[in-house]
Chain A
Amino acid sequence: MENRFDTSEFDTSNPEPRCPCVVLVDTSGSMGQAVAGKVPIEALNQGLVNLRAALAEDDLAALRVDLAIVGFGDSVRTIQDFTSPLDWQPGILQAAGATPMGAAVLQAMDLLEARKQTYRENGVSYFRPWIFVITDGQPTDGAVFATACKRVHEAEAGKKLLLFAVGTEGADMKALDQLSPRRPLLVSDLDFKGMFQWLSASLQQVSRSQPDEALSLKSPEGTLRIA
Protein backbone atom coordinates (compact mmCIF):
# COMPACT_ATOMS: atom_id res chain seq x y z
CA MET A 1 0.00 0.00 0.00
CA GLU A 2 1.24 3.46 -0.81
CA ASN A 3 2.34 5.53 2.13
CA ARG A 4 1.75 9.27 1.78
CA PHE A 5 4.89 10.05 3.81
CA ASP A 6 7.20 8.10 1.51
CA THR A 7 7.44 11.19 -0.72
CA SER A 8 9.22 13.02 2.12
CA GLU A 9 12.72 13.89 0.84
CA PHE A 10 15.76 13.56 3.05
CA ASP A 11 18.27 16.33 3.67
CA THR A 12 21.56 14.69 2.73
CA SER A 13 23.79 17.70 3.46
CA ASN A 14 24.74 16.80 7.04
CA PRO A 15 28.27 15.44 7.35
CA GLU A 16 28.76 12.38 9.54
CA PRO A 17 29.93 13.25 13.06
CA ARG A 18 33.60 12.47 13.56
CA CYS A 19 35.39 10.55 16.25
CA PRO A 20 38.97 11.91 16.33
CA CYS A 21 41.73 9.70 17.71
CA VAL A 22 45.50 10.23 17.84
CA VAL A 23 47.57 7.07 18.16
CA LEU A 24 50.89 8.03 19.78
CA VAL A 25 53.53 5.41 19.12
CA ASP A 26 56.93 5.04 20.69
CA THR A 27 59.51 4.83 17.88
CA SER A 28 62.56 5.08 20.15
CA GLY A 29 65.65 2.94 19.57
CA SER A 30 64.63 0.25 22.06
CA MET A 31 61.52 -0.52 19.99
CA GLY A 32 63.89 -1.91 17.36
CA GLN A 33 65.59 -4.34 19.76
CA ALA A 34 64.29 -7.88 19.79
CA VAL A 35 62.76 -9.19 22.99
CA ALA A 36 62.47 -12.99 23.15
CA GLY A 37 62.76 -13.19 19.39
CA LYS A 38 60.19 -10.46 18.70
CA VAL A 39 60.93 -6.91 17.57
CA PRO A 40 58.48 -4.48 19.22
CA ILE A 41 58.31 -2.04 16.28
CA GLU A 42 57.47 -4.90 13.91
CA ALA A 43 54.67 -6.11 16.17
CA LEU A 44 53.41 -2.54 16.38
CA ASN A 45 53.48 -2.09 12.59
CA GLN A 46 51.39 -5.24 12.21
CA GLY A 47 49.01 -4.01 14.93
CA LEU A 48 48.41 -0.75 13.08
CA VAL A 49 47.64 -2.65 9.88
CA ASN A 50 45.10 -4.73 11.82
CA LEU A 51 43.58 -1.61 13.38
CA ARG A 52 43.09 -0.02 10.00
CA ALA A 53 41.55 -3.19 8.57
CA ALA A 54 39.09 -3.61 11.45
CA LEU A 55 37.88 -0.01 11.24
CA ALA A 56 37.71 0.04 7.44
CA GLU A 57 35.50 -3.06 7.49
CA ASP A 58 32.89 -1.31 9.64
CA ASP A 59 30.87 1.02 7.37
CA LEU A 60 29.94 3.50 10.05
CA ALA A 61 33.35 3.54 11.76
CA ALA A 62 35.01 4.00 8.36
CA LEU A 63 32.94 7.14 7.85
CA ARG A 64 33.24 8.53 11.36
CA VAL A 65 36.56 7.57 12.90
CA ASP A 66 39.22 10.19 12.16
CA LEU A 67 42.66 8.76 12.88
CA ALA A 68 46.07 10.40 13.14
CA ILE A 69 49.36 8.84 14.13
CA VAL A 70 52.24 10.60 15.87
CA GLY A 71 55.59 8.90 16.46
CA PHE A 72 58.07 9.82 19.17
CA GLY A 73 61.71 8.73 18.91
CA ASP A 74 64.54 10.74 17.41
CA SER A 75 61.88 13.45 17.03
CA VAL A 76 58.14 13.96 17.51
CA ARG A 77 56.62 13.56 14.12
CA THR A 78 53.09 13.45 12.70
CA ILE A 79 53.33 10.30 10.62
CA GLN A 80 49.75 10.37 9.42
CA ASP A 81 47.49 13.41 9.75
CA PHE A 82 43.78 12.92 10.51
CA THR A 83 42.00 10.83 7.93
CA SER A 84 39.40 8.09 7.50
CA PRO A 85 40.62 4.54 8.19
CA LEU A 86 40.00 3.93 4.49
CA ASP A 87 42.74 6.40 3.56
CA TRP A 88 44.99 5.75 6.52
CA GLN A 89 48.58 4.91 5.56
CA PRO A 90 50.78 4.68 8.63
CA GLY A 91 53.61 3.21 6.56
CA ILE A 92 56.32 1.19 8.24
CA LEU A 93 57.60 2.78 11.40
CA GLN A 94 61.35 2.78 12.06
CA ALA A 95 62.87 2.80 15.55
CA ALA A 96 65.56 5.31 16.56
CA GLY A 97 66.36 7.85 19.24
CA ALA A 98 65.03 8.65 22.73
CA THR A 99 61.48 8.69 24.18
CA PRO A 100 60.12 12.30 24.15
CA MET A 101 56.69 11.15 25.31
CA GLY A 102 55.75 14.44 26.98
CA ALA A 103 56.35 16.46 23.82
CA ALA A 104 54.41 13.88 21.83
CA VAL A 105 51.40 14.09 24.14
CA LEU A 106 51.44 17.90 23.93
CA GLN A 107 51.63 17.73 20.13
CA ALA A 108 48.70 15.30 20.06
CA MET A 109 46.64 17.67 22.20
CA ASP A 110 47.46 20.58 19.87
CA LEU A 111 46.55 18.48 16.84
CA LEU A 112 43.20 17.62 18.41
CA GLU A 113 42.39 21.25 19.22
CA ALA A 114 43.19 22.25 15.63
CA ARG A 115 41.09 19.38 14.32
CA LYS A 116 38.12 20.39 16.46
CA GLN A 117 38.45 23.92 15.10
CA THR A 118 38.31 22.53 11.54
CA TYR A 119 35.19 20.54 12.45
CA ARG A 120 33.50 23.61 13.89
CA GLU A 121 34.35 25.75 10.85
CA ASN A 122 32.78 23.10 8.62
CA GLY A 123 29.69 22.39 10.70
CA VAL A 124 30.84 18.88 11.57
CA SER A 125 29.78 17.55 14.96
CA TYR A 126 32.21 15.33 16.84
CA PHE A 127 32.67 12.95 19.74
CA ARG A 128 35.12 13.42 22.59
CA PRO A 129 38.65 12.97 21.19
CA TRP A 130 40.89 10.08 22.15
CA ILE A 131 44.65 9.85 22.62
CA PHE A 132 46.11 6.37 22.68
CA VAL A 133 49.77 6.17 23.83
CA ILE A 134 51.88 3.05 23.28
CA THR A 135 55.42 2.76 24.71
CA ASP A 136 58.05 0.23 25.73
CA GLY A 137 60.16 2.61 27.79
CA GLN A 138 60.17 5.67 29.96
CA PRO A 139 59.81 9.33 29.05
CA THR A 140 63.14 11.05 28.47
CA ASP A 141 61.78 14.61 28.52
CA GLY A 142 61.16 14.91 32.29
CA ALA A 143 60.01 18.52 32.66
CA VAL A 144 57.96 18.45 29.45
CA PHE A 145 56.46 15.12 30.53
CA ALA A 146 55.38 16.67 33.83
CA THR A 147 53.69 19.51 31.93
CA ALA A 148 51.98 16.98 29.67
CA CYS A 149 50.69 15.00 32.68
CA LYS A 150 49.24 18.19 34.16
CA ARG A 151 47.59 19.23 30.90
CA VAL A 152 46.12 15.77 30.32
CA HIS A 153 44.57 15.66 33.79
CA GLU A 154 43.13 19.16 33.34
CA ALA A 155 41.73 18.27 29.93
CA GLU A 156 40.24 15.01 31.20
CA ALA A 157 38.62 16.81 34.13
CA GLY A 158 37.10 19.26 31.65
CA LYS A 159 35.90 16.32 29.47
CA LYS A 160 38.10 17.61 26.66
CA LEU A 161 39.63 14.25 25.81
CA LEU A 162 40.15 10.65 26.87
CA LEU A 163 43.69 9.32 27.16
CA PHE A 164 44.58 5.64 27.27
CA ALA A 165 48.16 4.54 27.97
CA VAL A 166 49.59 1.17 27.03
CA GLY A 167 52.97 -0.18 28.05
CA THR A 168 54.77 -3.29 26.93
CA GLU A 169 56.75 -5.34 29.46
CA GLY A 170 59.65 -3.19 30.60
CA ALA A 171 57.78 0.09 30.12
CA ASP A 172 57.76 2.58 32.97
CA MET A 173 54.21 1.85 34.13
CA LYS A 174 54.61 4.33 36.98
CA ALA A 175 55.16 7.15 34.49
CA LEU A 176 52.17 5.96 32.46
CA ASP A 177 50.13 5.93 35.63
CA GLN A 178 51.05 9.58 36.19
CA LEU A 179 50.07 10.45 32.66
CA SER A 180 46.83 8.51 32.38
CA PRO A 181 43.80 9.34 34.53
CA ARG A 182 42.77 5.68 34.23
CA ARG A 183 44.92 2.65 34.91
CA PRO A 184 47.41 2.05 32.10
CA LEU A 185 47.18 -1.24 30.26
CA LEU A 186 50.06 -3.70 30.16
CA VAL A 187 50.63 -5.65 26.97
CA SER A 188 52.38 -8.97 27.50
CA ASP A 189 54.55 -10.78 24.94
CA LEU A 190 54.25 -7.83 22.54
CA ASP A 191 50.78 -9.09 21.76
CA PHE A 192 49.35 -5.89 20.32
CA LYS A 193 46.56 -7.79 18.61
CA GLY A 194 44.16 -7.84 21.55
CA MET A 195 44.91 -4.22 22.38
CA PHE A 196 44.20 -2.99 18.86
CA GLN A 197 41.07 -5.14 18.73
CA TRP A 198 39.91 -3.37 21.87
CA LEU A 199 40.77 0.04 20.37
CA SER A 200 38.90 -0.64 17.12
CA ALA A 201 35.89 -2.13 18.94
CA SER A 202 35.79 0.87 21.28
CA LEU A 203 36.03 3.41 18.46
CA GLN A 204 33.28 1.55 16.63
CA GLN A 205 31.13 1.77 19.74
CA VAL A 206 31.85 5.49 20.28
CA SER A 207 31.09 6.28 16.64
CA ARG A 208 27.59 4.78 17.11
CA SER A 209 26.73 6.37 20.43
CA GLN A 210 23.57 8.48 20.76
CA PRO A 211 23.18 11.74 22.67
CA ASP A 212 24.04 11.39 26.33
CA GLU A 213 24.71 7.71 26.09
CA ALA A 214 27.30 6.54 28.60
CA LEU A 215 29.81 4.12 27.17
CA SER A 216 30.75 0.82 28.68
CA LEU A 217 33.99 -0.12 26.97
CA LYS A 218 35.10 -3.68 27.57
CA SER A 219 38.82 -3.31 28.20
CA PRO A 220 41.31 -6.12 28.69
CA GLU A 221 41.18 -5.24 32.38
CA GLY A 222 37.41 -5.03 32.80
CA THR A 223 34.69 -2.61 31.84
CA LEU A 224 35.46 1.08 31.59
CA ARG A 225 32.39 3.20 32.09
CA ILE A 226 32.68 6.61 30.46
CA ALA A 227 29.89 9.07 31.11
Chain B
Amino acid sequence: MWTAFGASCAGTGHRDRDLPCQDAHSFLILENVGVMAAVADGLGSAERSAEGARMAVDAALARLQEMLSIAVPANGSGWSALLAAALDDSRSAVLALADRAGAPSRQFGSTLMVAALTGSHLAVVHVGDGAVVGLGPGGLPGVVSGGVRGEYANETVSLTAPDSRERAVQLCCARPPRALALMTDGVQGVAMNMAAQVPWAGFFTPYWASLNSGAAPETLGAELATHLDSERYRRRTDDDKTILVLGRAWRPAPGDPA
Protein backbone atom coordinates (compact mmCIF):
# COMPACT_ATOMS: atom_id res chain seq x y z
CA MET B 1 0.00 0.00 0.00
CA TRP B 2 1.43 3.37 -1.02
CA THR B 3 1.33 6.11 1.54
CA ALA B 4 2.72 9.59 2.21
CA PHE B 5 2.64 12.35 4.80
CA GLY B 6 4.19 15.77 5.14
CA ALA B 7 4.12 19.14 6.85
CA SER B 8 5.32 22.70 6.28
CA CYS B 9 6.02 25.03 9.16
CA ALA B 10 6.75 28.78 9.11
CA GLY B 11 10.18 29.68 10.48
CA THR B 12 10.55 32.07 13.38
CA GLY B 13 12.42 34.50 11.09
CA HIS B 14 9.37 34.65 8.84
CA ARG B 15 6.94 35.07 11.73
CA ASP B 16 9.02 37.88 13.18
CA ARG B 17 8.70 39.75 9.89
CA ASP B 18 4.99 38.89 9.49
CA LEU B 19 5.72 36.69 6.51
CA PRO B 20 3.67 33.57 5.80
CA CYS B 21 5.21 30.11 5.45
CA GLN B 22 6.60 30.28 1.93
CA ASP B 23 7.09 26.51 1.60
CA ALA B 24 4.46 24.37 -0.13
CA HIS B 25 4.09 20.60 -0.49
CA SER B 26 1.60 18.15 -1.89
CA PHE B 27 1.35 14.49 -2.88
CA LEU B 28 -0.81 12.26 -4.97
CA ILE B 29 -1.26 8.55 -4.30
CA LEU B 30 -2.17 6.44 -7.31
CA GLU B 31 -2.57 2.98 -5.80
CA ASN B 32 -1.78 1.08 -9.00
CA VAL B 33 1.16 3.30 -9.91
CA GLY B 34 2.92 4.83 -6.89
CA VAL B 35 3.25 8.21 -5.17
CA MET B 36 3.85 11.55 -6.90
CA ALA B 37 5.20 14.31 -4.66
CA ALA B 38 6.19 17.96 -4.98
CA VAL B 39 7.83 20.43 -2.61
CA ALA B 40 8.65 24.11 -3.25
CA ASP B 41 10.46 26.65 -1.09
CA GLY B 42 9.41 30.22 -1.86
CA LEU B 43 12.42 32.55 -2.00
CA GLY B 44 12.84 35.03 0.79
CA SER B 45 13.65 37.76 -1.73
CA ALA B 46 10.43 37.20 -3.68
CA GLU B 47 7.47 39.21 -2.37
CA ARG B 48 4.81 36.71 -3.49
CA SER B 49 6.82 33.52 -3.28
CA ALA B 50 4.25 31.76 -1.09
CA GLU B 51 1.77 31.98 -3.98
CA GLY B 52 4.46 30.96 -6.46
CA ALA B 53 5.48 27.92 -4.41
CA ARG B 54 1.85 26.80 -4.07
CA MET B 55 1.26 27.19 -7.80
CA ALA B 56 4.51 25.37 -8.67
CA VAL B 57 3.54 22.35 -6.58
CA ASP B 58 -0.09 22.20 -7.69
CA ALA B 59 0.70 22.61 -11.38
CA ALA B 60 3.37 19.90 -11.33
CA LEU B 61 1.05 17.39 -9.68
CA ALA B 62 -1.90 18.32 -11.89
CA ARG B 63 0.22 17.61 -14.96
CA LEU B 64 1.37 14.25 -13.57
CA GLN B 65 -2.18 13.25 -12.70
CA GLU B 66 -3.45 14.19 -16.11
CA MET B 67 -0.70 12.36 -18.01
CA LEU B 68 -0.84 9.27 -15.80
CA SER B 69 -4.59 8.99 -16.31
CA ILE B 70 -3.83 8.54 -20.00
CA ALA B 71 -0.81 6.26 -19.81
CA VAL B 72 1.77 5.07 -17.29
CA PRO B 73 5.33 5.16 -18.65
CA ALA B 74 6.79 1.71 -19.21
CA ASN B 75 10.44 2.67 -18.95
CA GLY B 76 12.91 5.16 -17.51
CA SER B 77 12.97 7.47 -20.50
CA GLY B 78 9.19 7.69 -20.35
CA TRP B 79 9.30 8.66 -16.67
CA SER B 80 12.07 11.19 -17.31
CA ALA B 81 10.02 12.81 -20.08
CA LEU B 82 6.96 12.90 -17.83
CA LEU B 83 8.83 14.65 -15.01
CA ALA B 84 10.41 17.09 -17.45
CA ALA B 85 6.92 17.94 -18.72
CA ALA B 86 5.73 18.45 -15.13
CA LEU B 87 8.64 20.83 -14.52
CA ASP B 88 7.86 22.80 -17.69
CA ASP B 89 4.16 23.01 -16.82
CA SER B 90 4.94 24.08 -13.30
CA ARG B 91 7.22 26.88 -14.50
CA SER B 92 4.71 28.01 -17.14
CA ALA B 93 1.93 28.10 -14.55
CA VAL B 94 4.00 30.31 -12.23
CA LEU B 95 4.94 32.65 -15.10
CA ALA B 96 1.26 32.84 -16.09
CA LEU B 97 0.33 33.64 -12.48
CA ALA B 98 2.82 36.51 -12.49
CA ASP B 99 1.49 37.67 -15.84
CA ARG B 100 -2.11 37.74 -14.56
CA ALA B 101 -0.95 39.67 -11.51
CA GLY B 102 0.93 42.12 -13.74
CA ALA B 103 4.04 41.57 -11.62
CA PRO B 104 7.59 40.45 -12.46
CA SER B 105 7.88 36.66 -12.40
CA ARG B 106 10.80 36.76 -9.93
CA GLN B 107 8.34 37.97 -7.27
CA PHE B 108 6.86 34.46 -7.42
CA GLY B 109 10.20 32.63 -7.33
CA SER B 110 10.68 29.32 -5.55
CA THR B 111 12.69 26.14 -5.68
CA LEU B 112 10.95 22.95 -6.83
CA MET B 113 11.40 19.23 -6.23
CA VAL B 114 9.12 16.75 -7.99
CA ALA B 115 9.42 12.99 -7.45
CA ALA B 116 7.62 9.98 -8.85
CA LEU B 117 8.16 6.79 -6.82
CA THR B 118 6.73 3.58 -8.22
CA GLY B 119 7.41 -0.13 -7.82
CA SER B 120 9.69 -0.05 -10.83
CA HIS B 121 11.13 3.48 -11.06
CA LEU B 122 12.15 6.61 -9.25
CA ALA B 123 12.23 9.83 -11.25
CA VAL B 124 13.14 13.24 -9.85
CA VAL B 125 13.45 16.80 -11.13
CA HIS B 126 14.95 19.37 -8.80
CA VAL B 127 15.46 23.12 -9.20
CA GLY B 128 17.39 24.98 -6.49
CA ASP B 129 18.27 23.79 -3.01
CA GLY B 130 16.69 21.28 -0.66
CA ALA B 131 17.26 17.54 -0.80
CA VAL B 132 15.69 14.26 -1.85
CA VAL B 133 16.81 11.33 0.31
CA GLY B 134 15.98 7.67 -0.35
CA LEU B 135 15.83 4.68 1.96
CA GLY B 136 18.46 2.42 0.46
CA PRO B 137 19.18 -1.27 0.76
CA GLY B 138 20.11 -2.33 4.27
CA GLY B 139 17.88 0.40 5.71
CA LEU B 140 20.45 3.18 5.22
CA PRO B 141 19.48 6.51 3.68
CA GLY B 142 21.26 7.91 0.63
CA VAL B 143 21.05 11.29 -1.09
CA VAL B 144 19.16 11.06 -4.37
CA SER B 145 19.52 14.79 -5.10
CA GLY B 146 21.28 17.42 -3.04
CA GLY B 147 19.99 20.22 -5.24
CA VAL B 148 21.87 23.10 -6.75
CA ARG B 149 23.14 26.02 -4.72
CA GLY B 150 24.90 29.18 -5.82
CA GLU B 151 28.38 30.12 -4.66
CA TYR B 152 27.01 31.83 -1.57
CA ALA B 153 25.05 30.45 1.35
CA ASN B 154 22.19 32.83 0.59
CA GLU B 155 21.97 32.04 -3.13
CA THR B 156 19.92 29.44 -4.95
CA VAL B 157 18.26 28.78 -8.33
CA SER B 158 14.67 29.92 -8.84
CA LEU B 159 12.11 28.08 -10.96
CA THR B 160 11.32 31.44 -12.57
CA ALA B 161 14.95 32.02 -13.71
CA PRO B 162 15.42 31.82 -17.49
CA ASP B 163 17.97 29.01 -17.12
CA SER B 164 16.14 26.99 -14.44
CA ARG B 165 15.52 24.04 -16.79
CA GLU B 166 19.21 23.87 -17.77
CA ARG B 167 20.28 24.05 -14.13
CA ALA B 168 17.76 21.47 -12.90
CA VAL B 169 18.86 18.10 -11.56
CA GLN B 170 17.00 15.40 -13.51
CA LEU B 171 17.42 11.72 -12.79
CA CYS B 172 15.65 8.42 -13.12
CA CYS B 173 16.57 4.97 -11.87
CA ALA B 174 15.04 1.54 -12.33
CA ARG B 175 15.86 0.30 -8.82
CA PRO B 176 13.77 2.62 -6.69
CA PRO B 177 14.30 3.03 -2.97
CA ARG B 178 11.58 1.74 -0.67
CA ALA B 179 10.83 5.19 0.63
CA LEU B 180 11.72 8.77 -0.10
CA ALA B 181 11.93 12.03 1.84
CA LEU B 182 11.81 15.48 0.22
CA MET B 183 12.92 18.39 2.38
CA THR B 184 13.52 22.12 2.03
CA ASP B 185 16.83 23.66 3.08
CA GLY B 186 15.45 24.63 6.49
CA VAL B 187 15.45 20.92 7.34
CA GLN B 188 18.35 19.84 5.13
CA GLY B 189 20.97 21.32 7.48
CA VAL B 190 19.92 19.05 10.37
CA ALA B 191 19.21 15.96 8.27
CA MET B 192 22.51 15.54 6.46
CA ASN B 193 26.14 16.57 6.21
CA MET B 194 25.94 19.17 3.48
CA ALA B 195 29.56 19.05 2.28
CA ALA B 196 29.78 15.26 2.02
CA GLN B 197 26.11 14.90 1.01
CA VAL B 198 25.65 12.12 3.57
CA PRO B 199 22.30 11.84 5.35
CA TRP B 200 22.22 11.24 9.11
CA ALA B 201 20.51 7.85 9.48
CA GLY B 202 19.16 8.64 12.95
CA PHE B 203 17.35 11.66 11.60
CA PHE B 204 15.23 9.54 9.29
CA THR B 205 14.45 6.51 11.49
CA PRO B 206 11.07 7.74 12.82
CA TYR B 207 10.06 8.92 9.35
CA TRP B 208 10.60 5.56 7.69
CA ALA B 209 8.96 3.81 10.64
CA SER B 210 5.89 6.03 10.35
CA LEU B 211 5.21 4.77 6.83
CA ASN B 212 4.58 1.39 8.43
CA SER B 213 2.62 2.65 11.40
CA GLY B 214 -0.76 2.37 9.77
CA ALA B 215 -1.56 5.92 10.97
CA ALA B 216 -3.53 8.15 8.61
CA PRO B 217 -1.52 10.69 6.58
CA GLU B 218 -3.49 13.53 8.24
CA THR B 219 -2.56 12.27 11.71
CA LEU B 220 1.11 11.94 10.79
CA GLY B 221 1.10 15.34 9.06
CA ALA B 222 -0.36 17.08 12.12
CA GLU B 223 2.15 15.41 14.44
CA LEU B 224 5.00 16.32 12.09
CA ALA B 225 3.86 19.97 11.98
CA THR B 226 4.07 20.12 15.78
CA HIS B 227 7.51 18.52 15.70
CA LEU B 228 8.83 20.98 13.09
CA ASP B 229 7.66 23.86 15.29
CA SER B 230 9.46 22.51 18.35
CA GLU B 231 12.04 24.41 20.37
CA ARG B 232 14.73 22.03 19.10
CA TYR B 233 14.15 23.20 15.53
CA ARG B 234 13.78 26.84 16.53
CA ARG B 235 17.21 26.78 18.12
CA ARG B 236 18.77 25.50 14.90
CA THR B 237 17.03 27.47 12.16
CA ASP B 238 14.69 30.42 11.70
CA ASP B 239 13.80 29.35 8.15
CA ASP B 240 10.58 27.68 6.94
CA LYS B 241 10.70 23.90 7.17
CA THR B 242 9.07 21.18 5.06
CA ILE B 243 9.40 17.40 5.01
CA LEU B 244 7.36 15.12 2.78
CA VAL B 245 7.82 11.36 3.18
CA LEU B 246 6.48 8.78 0.78
CA GLY B 247 6.77 5.08 0.16
CA ARG B 248 5.20 1.71 0.51
CA ALA B 249 4.56 0.01 3.81
CA TRP B 250 6.92 -2.97 3.66
CA ARG B 251 5.77 -4.89 6.70
CA PRO B 252 2.35 -6.49 6.67
CA ALA B 253 -0.08 -4.57 8.81
CA PRO B 254 -2.09 -6.49 11.44
CA GLY B 255 -5.01 -8.24 9.82
CA ASP B 256 -3.37 -8.33 6.40
CA PRO B 257 -3.31 -11.73 4.75
CA ALA B 258 0.06 -13.42 5.26
Contact = CB atoms under 8 A, between A and B. Distances in A.
Given A14-B189, A209-B44, A213-B45, A7 B154 contact: no
B226 interface: yes
B205 A7 contact: yes
Q: Which of A3, A17, A122, A213 has the most CB of B within 10 A?
A: A213
A210 B232 contact: no
Interface residues of B, number: 48
B155 A212 contact: yes
Contacts of B204: 8
A5 B209 CA distance: 10
A114 to B, nearest CB: 16
A8 B207 contact: yes
Contact of A212 (B44, B151, B195, B199): B44
Contacts of A17: 153
A126 B151 CA distance: 8
B152 A10 contact: no
Interface in A1-47: 3-14, 17
B203 A126 contact: no
Given A5-B207, A213-B44, A10 B236 contact: yes
Contacts of A211: 41, 43-44, 111, 128-129, 149, 153-156, 185
Contacts of A209: 44, 154
Report the contact-size class of chain A (Cβ under 8 Å from the partner): 20 to 34
A5 B194 contact: no
Contacts of A13: 193, 200
Contacts of B185: 211
Contacts of B239: 210
A122 B232 CA distance: 26
A209 B207 CA distance: 29
B134 interface: no
Nearest to B238: A208
A132 interface: no
B13 interface: yes
B15 to A, nearest CB: 13
A3 B153 CA distance: 32
A203 to B, nearest CB: 13
B206 A212 contact: no
B236 A213 contact: no
A15 to B, nearest CB: 8
A11 B193 contact: yes
28 contacts: A3-B227, A4-B210, A5-B206, A5-B224, A6-B230, A8-B202, A9-B205, A10-B236, A11-B189, A11-B190, A11-B193, A11-B200, A13-B193, A14-B194, A17-B153, A125-B152, A125-B153, A125-B194, A127-B152, A127-B153, A127-B154, A206-B154, A209-B154, A210-B239, A211-B41, A211-B154, A213-B44, A227-B45
